[in-house]
Amino acid sequence: MSAMRIVTTRQQVRALRDEVASRGGRIGFVPTMGALHAGHLSLVERARRSCDTVVASVFVNPLQFGPGEDFERYPRDREGDAARLAAAGADVSWFAEVEDMYAPDHCSYVVQEGPALDLEGAARPTHFRGVLTVVLKLLNVLRPAQLFLGRKDYQQTVVIRRMVRDLDLETEVVVCPTVREPGGLAMSSRNAYLRPDERKRACVLWQAIEATQRAHAEGERDPERLERILRSPLEACPGLTLEYAVVRDGETLQPLRGPVERGVCLVAARLGAARLIDNGLLPAAAPDPVLDPAQWAARLQTDG
Amino acid sequence: MSAMRIVTTRQQVRALRDEVASRGGRIGFVPTMGALHAGHLSLVERARRSCDTVVASVFVNPLQFGPGEDFERYPRDREGDAARLAAAGADVSWFAEVEDMYAPDHCSYVVQEGPALDLEGAARPTHFRGVLTVVLKLLNVLRPAQLFLGRKDYQQTVVIRRMVRDLDLETEVVVCPTVREPGGLAMSSRNAYLRPDERKRACVLWQAIEATQRAHAEGERDPERLERILRSPLEACPGLTLEYAVVRDGETLQPLRGPVERGVCLVAARLGAARLIDNGLLPAAAPDPVLDPAQWAARLQTDG
């Protein structure tokens, strides 16, 4: 493992970018909000395979949190994150800072209609504005050849891919599989908000999605019946408040008329102090990787 | 005069950009909507002085016109524009096309609060969204070292400069003086909508601004009295419908409390079929260049 560089300012990042460009290198970029888990680190490993310089950013972006959301209590672990990124093979960690990223009178934003309006966009009205604005800024500063995103935030991948196309950003968006815990729970920094009993119950999101994928595999093509199969276990789960559970077009995120040949199941629910989202393609893609967190920790130790 | 290249697609522009970058060149960029006049051409000449490759774009951007505005009848003169750009010394003319610039399901936009909300932003609610979105796209494709804008569209220069800062675009915004006809009328493609008698009366915009600059030079510092001086000749002009005539902070465009040491007079009015805007700094900057259109035409002939 070579030494990982830590940078904090846009100026440092631009210098680094120009240095990589001058030797004809390719930058792979993994943007994160920190509190890193195996899902994030799988993105770093994937970037490692196709880029010679892997840059991960860690920035809890205030713009993408609404009033009353968890910006203040969002888990932060800078030292742990730096160690995990180094162990996973990142060349550079960009610990961005609010004061460097946003002028006090910052007032320009990227917004999106179409796929950004519904679902997370409806539940969190300024969320995608914040995500798109910060991602545009990060991309403009770093100019990576490839951008690696986890499929866990499915709508986010669609919305960012659309922005990259619409606003002429020259980066290839690579969407990577969701990494899951053994019970099927999608890895998420917000899982830290779950008590142990809630963590078990949270597996119902993935169980509901798998049940829908099975029904689709067995020939079910009616969108309403597929959505009923998706909703049913979620509505039956004690303590879980369902926000949405829908089957949509995988690119426009619009409702589908049958017969549903391809699509995506999208779920959002509250459980205890956490708001959880998950998704699964129809038909199911290759199985998502499953990793025991303890296993992962051991692997990092060995690699390091 | 060397031969000017004409390009129409983003792909051609990217190839050109990379070609200039590979030999360490500097691109100067003049974005226009065509129907070029001496104001535009002065930007090309200014770009010529600090950049080795001058690119002008000609694109009547549908996104920045509201419903019922003059998108359809906006003057278009592709051949004349190409000849004028070549004569003024542009190296490349980018005649952009709607189909190349916007996907049919384009849905990502740049918006701005702060200086974009009031004045033109209030009169034309989606105007700056369209301007900022297309300028971001043009800048992302071309990546010029310098961007040349005319002060005639004062608020636009403020809003674009702010976007460049907020969204980490790496171009220097150079704002150039308004070019005026002998009576003081600011050159504008929309002056073509004026009948000869209206064209004479339209000089009242600049007369009102000059009167305010004189009052300021003579010591007037009260914002309300300055605005009264600005409004008075405009309100007295037959057939002119005043939209706004204000004295504002030159950067935030917010109203000023006295004493007004520095600021900008901003005016918008309708006259016949035209909507006219103009502005002037407080204190007045160096006098704006004044050019008879016939003179300019002669100069182009000579240079060519």
Query: CA-to-CA distance for B58 and B31, rounded, in angstroms?
Result: 7
Set of chain B residues whose Cβ sits within 8 Å of the Cβ of A105: 114, 252
Q: Is pLDDT above 70 for B293?
A: no
Q: In angstroms, what separates the C-alpha of A155 from chain B's closest C-alpha? A: 15
For chain A, what is the HEC assignment?
A: CCCCEEECCHHHHHHHHHHHHHCCCCEEEEEECCCCCHHHHHHHHHHHHHCCEEEEEECCCHHHCCCCCCCCCCCCCHHHHHHHHHHHCCCEEEECCHHHHCCCCCCEEEEECHHHCCCHHHHCCCHHHHHHHHHHHHHHHHCCCEEEEECCCHHHHHHHHHHHHHCCCCCEEEEECCCECCCCCECCHHHHHCCHHHHHHCCHHHHHHHHHHHHHHCCCCCHHHHHHHHHHHHHCCCCEEEEEEEEECCCCCCECCCCCCCEEEEEEEEECCEEEEEEEEECCCCCCCECCHHHHHHHHHHHC
User: Is residue A67 reached through a cis peptide bond, with omega within 30 degrees of 0 on the bond before it?
Assistant: no
pLDDT of residue B1: 47
Specify the CATH number for the domain of residue B64: 3.40.50.620
Name the amino acid, one letter, at A223: P
Mean pLDDT over A272-283 rounds to: 97
Residue B19 neighbours by CB under 8 Å, 6+ apart: none
pLDDT of residue A304: 37
**Burial (CB count <10 Å: 0-12, 13-18, 19+), residue B290:** middle
How does DSSP classify residue B89? Answer: T
pLDDT tens for residues A150-163?
A: 999 999 999 999 99
Q: The tokens of A69 are what?
A: 């959301």
Q: Name which of B152, B173, B153 is nearest B164 in CA terms.
A: B173
pLDDT of residue A300: 62
Residue A256 CA from chain centroid, whole number: 24
Distances from the Cα of B114 to the Cα of A169, A218, B159, B161, B251, angstroms: 25, 55, 9, 13, 10
- Provide the β-strand partners of residue A174: A148
Claim to verify: residue A169 and residue A249 sit in the same structural domain: no
Which residue is closest to A136 within chain B, CA to CA? B167
User: Is residue A283 reached through a cis peptide bond, with omega within 30 degrees of 0 on the bond before it?
Assistant: yes
Q: Is pLDDT above 90 for A295?
A: no
Per-residue confidence at A287, pLDDT binned at 50, 70, 90? confident
pLDDT tens for residues B42-59?
A: 999 999 999 999 999 999
Query: CA-to-CA distance for B281 and B175, rounded, in angstroms?
Result: 13
- Return the CA Rg of chain A: 19
The verdict on a CB contact (< 8 Å) between A107 and B166 is yes
**Burial (CB count <10 Å: 0-12, 13-18, 19+), residue A287:** exposed
Mean pLDDT over A274-281 rounds to: 97
Residue A295 lies in a domain: no
Task: Give me the domain span that covers residue A84.
Answer: 5-176
Output phi, psi for A255, to 5 deg.
Answer: -55, 150
Q: In angstroms, what separates the C-alpha of A17 from chain B's closest C-alpha? A: 13
A40 is catalytic: yes
Residue A67 lies in a domain: yes
Point out the domain boundary residue: A176, A210, A228: A176
User: What angle separates helix A38-50 from helix A78-88, to the nearest 10 degrees?
Assistant: 40
**Burial (CB count <10 Å: 0-12, 13-18, 19+), residue A192:** middle
Claim to verify: residue B203 and residue B90 sit in the same structural domain: no
Residue A303 lies in a domain: no
Claim to verify: residue A94 and residue A134 sit in the same structural domain: yes
Claim to verify: residue A148 and residue A81 sit in the same structural domain: yes
pLDDT tens for residues A30-39?
A: 999 999 999 9
Residue A143 lies in a domain: yes
Q: The tokens of B121 are what?
A: 């932003």
Claim to verify: residue B138 and residue B44 sit in the same structural domain: yes
Point out the domain boundary residue: A154, A176, A198: A176
Output phi, psi for B76, to 5 deg.
Answer: -130, 135
Q: Give the ipTM of the model, two decimals please.
A: 0.94
pLDDT of residue B304: 37
Of B102, B141, B162, the CB nearest to A108: B162
Residue A219 neighbours by CB under 8 Å, 6+ apart: none
Query: CA-to-CA distance for B110 and B159, rounded, in angstroms?
Result: 11
Name the amino acid, one letter, at B147: L
Query: CA-to-CA distance for A233 and A214, rounded, in angstroms?
Result: 14
Catalytic pick from A37, A40, A127, A216? A40
Claim to verify: residue B169 and residue B27 sit in the same structural domain: yes
The verdict on a CB contact (< 8 Å) between B169 and A105 is no
Residue A95 lies in a domain: yes
- By three-state DSSP, how is residue B202 classified? coil
Greater model confidence, A288 or B87: B87
Residue A296 lies in a domain: no
Q: In angstroms, what separates the C-alpha of B49 from chain A's closest C-alpha? A: 26
Q: Is pLDDT above 70 for A7?
A: yes
Claim to verify: residue A193 and residue A171 sit in the same structural domain: no
How does DSSP classify residue B187? Answer: P
Point out the domain boundary residue: B147, B176, B205: B176
Output phi, psi for A299, to 5 deg.
Answer: -65, -40
Claim to verify: residue A118 and residue A229 sit in the same structural domain: no
Give me the residue label for tokens 């093979």.
Answer: A89
Mean pLDDT over A88-99 rounds to: 97
pLDDT of residue B285: 84
Claim to verify: residue B145 and residue B210 sit in the same structural domain: no
Query: CA-to-CA distance for B145 and B123, rounded, in angstroms?
Result: 32
- Provide the β-strand partners of residue A102: none
Q: The tokens of A166 are what?
A: 């619409």
Residue A279 neighbours by CB under 8 Å, 6+ apart: A151, A152, A154, A178, A209, A264, A265, A266, A267
pLDDT of residue A82: 97
Query: CA-to-CA distance for A102 and A125, rounded, in angstroms?
Result: 20
Chain A residues with at least one Cβ partner in B under 8 Å: 10, 14, 102-103, 105-116, 132-133, 136-137, 140-141, 162-163, 165-170, 252
Mean pLDDT over B217-224 rounds to: 97
Interface mutation vs chain B, best among A100, A107, A162, most B CBs within 10 Å: A107
Angle at A277 between CA A276 and CA A282, to 5 degrees: 150
Claim to verify: residue B166 and residue B25 sit in the same structural domain: yes
The verdict on a CB contact (< 8 Å) between B114 and A105 is yes
pLDDT tens for residues A34-61?
A: 999 999 999 999 999 999 999 999 999 9
The verdict on a CB contact (< 8 Å) between A137 and B167 is yes
Q: The tokens of B216 are what?
A: 């300021």
Claim to verify: residue B128 and residue B84 sit in the same structural domain: yes
**Percentage of residues in chain A with pLDDT exceeding 70?**
96
Interface mutation vs chain A, best among B134, B140, B142, B168, most A CBs within 10 Å: B168
Which residue is closest to B117 within chain A, CA to CA? A107
Angle at A190 between CA A189 and CA A193, to 5 degrees: 125
Mean pLDDT of chain A: 95
Output phi, psi for B19, to 5 deg.
Answer: -65, -45
Antiparallel, parallel or unpaired: β A172-176 and B274-282: unpaired
Residue B295 neighbours by CB under 8 Å, 6+ apart: none
In this structure, the dihedral spanned by the alpha carbons of residues A223, A176, A159 and A61, taken in order and rounded to 10 degrees, is 130
- By three-state DSSP, how is residue B299 classified? helix
Residue B81 lies in a domain: yes
- By three-state DSSP, how is residue B74 classified? coil
Claim to verify: residue B152 and residue B236 sit in the same structural domain: no
Specify the CATH number for the domain of residue A203: 3.30.1300.10
pLDDT of residue B295: 72
Query: CA-to-CA distance for B139 and B48, rounded, in angstroms?
Result: 18
Per-residue confidence at B187, pLDDT binned at 50, 70, 90? very high
The verdict on a CB contact (< 8 Å) between B107 and A165 is no
Q: In angstroms, what separates the C-alpha of B77 from chain A's closest C-alpha? A: 27
Residue A120 lies in a domain: yes
Residues A162, B107: contact at Cβ < 8 Å?
Answer: yes
Greater model confidence, A102 or B3: A102
Q: In sequence order, which ranges of chain B are alpha helices (DSSP H)?
A: 10-22, 38-50, 78-88, 98-101, 120-123, 127-142, 154-166, 196-201, 204-217, 223-235, 293-303
- By three-state DSSP, how is residue B270 classified? strand
pLDDT tens for residues A190-234?
A: 999 999 999 999 999 999 999 999 999 999 999 999 999 999 999
Per-residue confidence at A298, pLDDT binned at 50, 70, 90? low
Output phi, psi for B94, to 5 deg.
Answer: -105, 95
Mean pLDDT of chain B: 95
Q: The tokens of B194 are what?
A: 């004026």
Q: The tokens of B261 are what?
A: 């040491």
Count of domains forming chain A: 2
Q: Is pLDDT above 60 for B204?
A: yes
pLDDT of residue B80: 96
